[in-house]
Amino acid sequence: DAKTTQPPSMDCAEGRAANLPCNHSTISGNEYVYWYRQIHSQGPQYIIHGLKNNETNEMASLIITEDRKSSTLILPHATLRDTAVYYCIVSRYGNKLVFGAGTILRVKS
C-alpha cells in the first residue's frame, strides 16, 4: 500500500473550517484514500473514504486531486471535540490499514 505524508500538527480556531492535507504521490489506481481520527485514549474512528471523486458525509468532506496524488480532509465547522490525531491511509482492499504518525489537530477557542 502507498505511503502517505501529513504535517505533524495543525491549529484551527473553533467554528472555522479545518483543512488537513495528505500527500500520497505513489498511490495506484485501485487504492482508496481513508481518513480516521483518534481522540485521546479512544480507539480510532472512521471519518470518510474515497477513490477518485470528492466525498461528503455528516462528519467531513474529502477532496481528492485529479491526479490522486494528494487529498484534503475538511471539517467544515471545527469544535473543541474535533481535537484529535487524524490519519490519512491509502489501502487497496481496506483490510490491513497502515497508520502513520498522523496530524495532531488542535482546535482552540
Partner 1 sequence: GAGVSQSPSNKVTEKGKDVELRCDPISGHTALYWYRQSLGQGLEFLIYFQGNSAPDKSGLPSDRFSAERTGGSVSTLTIQRTQQEDSAVYLCASSTTSGGYQETQYFGPGTRLLVL
Q: Which residues in this chain contact partner 1 in the complex, by CB under 8 A? A: 42-46, 49, 87, 93-102
Q: 93 vs 109, which CB is nearer to partner 1?
A: 93
Q: What is the CA radius of gyration of the chain?
A: 13
CB of 96 to partner 1, least distance (A): 5
CB of 16 to partner 1, least distance (A): 27
Inter-CA distances, 55 with 1, 32, 46, 64, Å:
21, 12, 14, 9
How near is the Cβ of 21 to partner 1 at its closest, in Å?
18
Q: What distances in angstroms separate CA 51 from CA 29, 31, 42, 91, one per listed residue? A: 8, 7, 27, 10
In the bound state with partner 1, the residue whose beta carbon lies nearer, of 80 and 97, is 97
